[in-house]
Structures are given as C-alpha cells and as structure tokens.
C-alpha cells in the first residue's frame, strides 16, 4: 500500500476555546495551497483509491479541496484515528482496516501525524535498548502545514519515498503552470 500522509493546510491561529478550534476553517492561504498541491499531484498523475480525514473542519476542507481538484468522486471518510488526540494504536488499526487499498490519502494534524509517520518508519522494536527513551520508537520527521509524505507499506518496514514541503509545492506549481512559449513583442 502507498500511504500518503497530508497535514491540513493553513488555518490561521489556534483558538483558546477547544470547541471553536474544532470548527476552525482553512484560511485564504490554506485554500490556495490545497489547489496548488492538487495541481502538482495531477501533474504527477497520482490518483487515490480512498481519502480519510480527521473529523475537524480544517482537515475535512483540506481533503475535500485536494480530492475535488484531483477528480476524486467517492465519499471522504471521517476517522477519529486522525484527530489531534488520536493514538498510534488507533492509527495502526485504521491502516489495518484499509489495507486493501493501493493508494490511501490520510489527512490530519500535528503533533500526532509527525509521531505516526516517525513510528511507521522506525518501529519501537528497532530502537536500541540503551536509547529507547531517546528515540521513543520513532524517527523525527517534521510535517509543516500542507506537507505531504508518501510512505510505502508493501513489504517489510515502511519506507519513506518522498516528502513535499509547501515551499516545494509552490515551486513545482509555478513551473507546471508557466508558459511553454517565449514572449514575443508585438510591433
């Protein structure tokens, strides 16, 4: 399975009230980034079999915008296993339940997406006994808002194939939409 892990795009400043924070939508930059990311993924000829998102508004919006621009027509599933307070055990259960899909996109939040990705790449059993507390069974991977990681879970341990940072997405988008023809003067 190819697992694509996407952190939700920019949604402004975190709100002090947790109820209001759960309903916080994407801001203008976040929406624009989603559209740019979808364009880059279309250029890469990627298609998702299934998209699963955290139930929070900003993640659902990110999943919806990217999915719509990529031509994804199925329903986007909502899962508490991707919510900010989810555990790695819940995430692993979700992956087991969806293991029949070849290309799976999950959309969630930090800090748990960082931890989930790190734990997939370096399982706790692989940590040296003396340094178990230091590595806590995970590799350190930083997902900025709007970052997308591709992890292959086909055989053996997970392998990180690539990571698209928002800056990289902007640069790829700019090159994919640039005119192929040189400008000529009209005299």
Higher-scoring residue by pLDDT: 184, 139: 139
Q: Choose among 22, 69, 78: nearest CA to 42.
A: 69
pLDDT digits (tens, 9 = 90+) for 90-134: 999 999 999 999 999 999 999 899 999 988 988 765 544 433 333
Higher pLDDT, 62 or 184: 62
Print the SS3 string covering 95-164. Answer: HHHCCCCCEEEEEECCCHHHHHHHHHHCCHHHCCHHHHHHHCCCCCCCCCCCCEEEEECCCCCCEEEEEE
Percent of the chain with pLDDT over 90: 63
pLDDT at position 178, please?
60
**Domain layout of the chain by residue ranges:** 2-173
Q: What per-residue confidence (pLDDT) applies to 10?
A: 87
Check if the beta carbon of residue 164 is closer than 8 Å to that of residue 148.
yes
Q: What is the pLDDT of residue 136?
A: 52
The least confident of 70-74, 115-119, 139-143, 181-185 is 181-185
Give me 87's structure tokens. Answer: 């555990």
pLDDT at 129: 41
pLDDT for residue 183 is more than 80? no
Q: Mean of the pLDDT values across residues 131-140?
A: 51
Using the predicted structure, report yes or no on whether residue 41 has a pLDDT greater than 90. yes
Per-residue model confidence (pLDDT) at position 68: 95
Residue 169 scores a pLDDT above 70? yes
Helices 28-43, 166-176: inter-axial angle, 10-degree rounding: 60
Q: Angle at Cα 79 formed by Cα 160 and Cα 86, nearest 5°? A: 70
Peptide bond into 111 cis (omega under 30): yes
Per-position DSSP letters for 71-101, written without gaps between them: T--SPPEE-GGGSTT--HHHHHHHHHHTTT-
CATH ID of 2-173, from 3.65.10.10, 3.40.190.10, 3.40.50.1980, 3.40.50.1240? 3.40.50.1240
């Amino acid at each position: 399975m190819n697992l694509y892990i996407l952190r939700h795009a920019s949604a402004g400043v975190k709100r002090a009230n947790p109820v209001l924070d759960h309903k916080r939508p994407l801001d203008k930059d976040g929406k624009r980034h989603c559209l740019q990311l979808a364009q880059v993924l279309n250029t890469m000829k990627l298609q998702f079999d299934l998209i699963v998102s955290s139930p929070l508004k900003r993640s659902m919006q990110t999943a919806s915008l990217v999915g719509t621009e990529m031509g994804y027509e199925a329903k986007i599933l909502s899962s508490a296993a991707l919510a900010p307070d989810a555990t790695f055990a819940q995430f692993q259960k979700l992956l087991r339940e969806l293991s029949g899909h070849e290309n799976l996109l999950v959309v969630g939040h930090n800090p748990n997406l960082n931890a989930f990705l790190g734990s997939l790449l370096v399982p706790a059993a692989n940590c040296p006994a003396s340094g178990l507390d230091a590595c806590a069974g995970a590799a350190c991977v930083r997902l900025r808002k709007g970052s997308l990681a591709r992890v292959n879970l086909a055989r053996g341990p997970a392998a990180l194939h690539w990571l698209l940072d928002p800056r990289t997405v902007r640069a790829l988008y700019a090159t994919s939409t640039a005119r192929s023809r040189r400008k000529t003067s009209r005299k």
